[in-house]
Amino acid sequence: MSMGGAIATMIDTVTGTHATFLSGPVMTANLNINYRRPIPLGSTVLLESSLEKKEGRKTFITCRVTSTDGSKLHTETSALFLSITASHLLGG
Counting contacts by CB under 6 A, is residue 16 touching ligand MFK?
yes
What are the residues facing 27 on neighbouring strands?
Answer: 82
Annotated catalytic residue 12: yes
Asked if 76 touches ligand MFK (CB under 6 A), the answer is: no
Beta-sheet pairing, 26-35 with 45-55: unpaired
Within 35-64, the residues that bind ligand MFK by CB under 6 A are: 58
Helix (H) or strand (E) holding 2: none
The residues facing 50 across adjacent strands are: 62
**Which stretches of the chain bind ligand MFK, using CB under 6 A?**
12-13, 16-17, 20, 27-30, 58, 80, 82, 84, 88
